[in-house]
Amino acid sequence: MKNVYKIFAALAVAAAASSCVYEIEDVFPQNASERVNGKALECQELLTSSLRGWLVQYYPSANQEFGGCTYVMVFDPDGKVTVASELADKASDTAVSHYSITTSSSVVLTFDTYNEYIHFWSDPDMFSGNEYGGDFELAFVSGDENRLVFRGTKTGNRIVFTALTEDQDMETIIQGIIDYKNKFNTEYDIVAGDNIPIASLSASSFLYGKLYNVLTYLPEGAEDWEAVDYPFSFTADGISLYEPVEVAGETFQDFVFEDDGSLVALDETGEKTSVKVTASQADTYVPYEDFEGNYIFGFMDVDGDGSITNYPVTLELNEDGYSYTMPFAGFDISVGWTPYGYMTFNTQYLGLYQDLFVMMCPLSSSGFFSVSSETGYNIVPDMSGDGQVWMFEDNGAWDEIMCMMLYGFFDQQLNEQAGYLMRFIPGYLIKQ
């Protein structure tokens, strides 16, 4: 009987509790689904509102170790996006692909068909995996018709879109960035007032022929181990650090170019300050134009009699301002320039030979080959000579290289191998 009373007592308590339930008014005038859909529509309208496009400061890798990459993107209402990039060989080059605005727990801008500039960072090389860890899906955070902020869904990196003004255009902005990068010095001094040195910067993240947008900051008088890396990206008129840097007790993030190639720090209001970054060149620096000309290319045919062949070649300047064309063995080989005073001779697609797709790629001493564009040789000055002799050195990006190959494939995806057409060991270039 006691148990029966306990049951009735519990029911009575429950009934009393139910009579005390209050109605809770909705804080938001819309439900969650309506709010997300509304934000997706806002994102779409903002993206398409800038007819001249958006300057996009993009950062791959969760720790921004590769620095930033600047794009200009134009979004059409029908889902088409046209992309120009500092990665391009020419400022007029663009890549067109599709985008969409998706919704789940947030609003996400997705580049859902392949774009060679965007997916370079998220899926750069099918043979070496995702080296850069970049995003092709960006979560919309906030914005207006002048500025949008997104976050990479994988990296969490902040990615800022800035609307182009009426007097700006896609090609001019990208050309300005390419021109500056081609003259990009590798050593800088930060000075204040009457050119008082307060710190130094160096473009240290230079690897396998690529200069990533990262500056290493070292305060005056500090030890080398105190240096800090600052990723940055180019803007229409300067550079912007991903995170601010403290210089002489003040904090700076944005810098603008001066006519002499230096950079001036801006304060929080966008006004110029007395803090200036002056450029100096590395001791080994060689201007891009100085490599143009006729050379003797010394190499050994691996399948020959072991003798050295001296083959006349020419390095021709390309429109991009940082590579050369070297005709060799019936193909136009691209040779890269660096601001450190050496050239690069890396893996690359050369074109068709009869029905074969031909790559120039290295063969390792262990018998494997690589089609990653990072692998190859640096062409460095022979310090014992008179500056006219340049030697080929393994760039260390992969296994020990035994030789270079001209290697044929039956398909453009490089799945069906036909075999090598030529194997050679590059030795030297002698300028004539």
Residue 15 lies in a domain: no
139 and 259 part of one domain: no
pLDDT digits (tens, 9 = 90+) for 252-267: 899 888 887 788 889 8
For residue 206, the domain's CATH number is 2.40.128
Taking every pair of Cα atoms in the chain, the longest distance, rounded to a whole number of angstroms, is: 113
331 and 265, same structural domain? Answer: no
- What would the pLDDT profile of 75-94 be if each residue is shown by its tens digit? 999 999 999 998 887 889 99
Identify the band that residue 162 occupies on the pLDDT scale cut at 50, 70 and 90. very high
Whole-angstrom distance, CA of residue 139 vs CA of residue 141: 6
Does the pTM of the predicted model rise above 0.75? no
Does 402 lie in the same domain as 339? yes
Residue 421 in any domain: the answer is yes
| Three-point CA angle 216, 220, 222, nearest 5° | 75
Q: Is residue 17 part of a domain?
A: no
326 and 235 within one domain: no
Q: Give me the domain span that covers residue 388.
A: 288-431
Verify that 318 and 372 share a domain, yes or no.
yes
- What is the Cα–Cα distance from 41 to 46, expressed in whole angstroms? 9
Per-residue pLDDT reduced to its tens digit, 380-421:
988 776 668 999 999 888 889 999 999 999 988 788 899 999
Query: What is the spatial distance between Cα 9 and Cα 181, in angstroms, rounded to a whole number?
Result: 81
Q: Is residue 300 part of a domain?
A: yes
State the average pLDDT for the chain: 83
Instruction: Grade residue 8 by pLDDT with cuts at 50, 70 and 90.
Output: very low
Does residue 5 sit within a domain? no
pLDDT tens digits, one per residue of 288-315: 899 999 999 999 999 999 999 999 999 9
- Of 108-117, 279-288, 408-417, the range with the lowest mean pLDDT is 279-288
As beta bridge partners, residue 210 has 207
Do 135 and 86 reside in the same domain of the chain?
yes
CA 413, 416, 420, 424 torsion-angle sign = positive
The upper half-sphere exposure of residue 428, i.e. CA atoms within 13 Å in the direction of its Cβ, equals 16
Higher pLDDT: 37 or 26? It is 37
Among 119, 135, 169, identify where a domain stops.
Answer: 169
Indicate whether 274 and 297 sit together in one domain: no
Give Cα separations from 278 to 77, 238, 338, 356, 366 (angstroms): 44, 13, 20, 50, 47
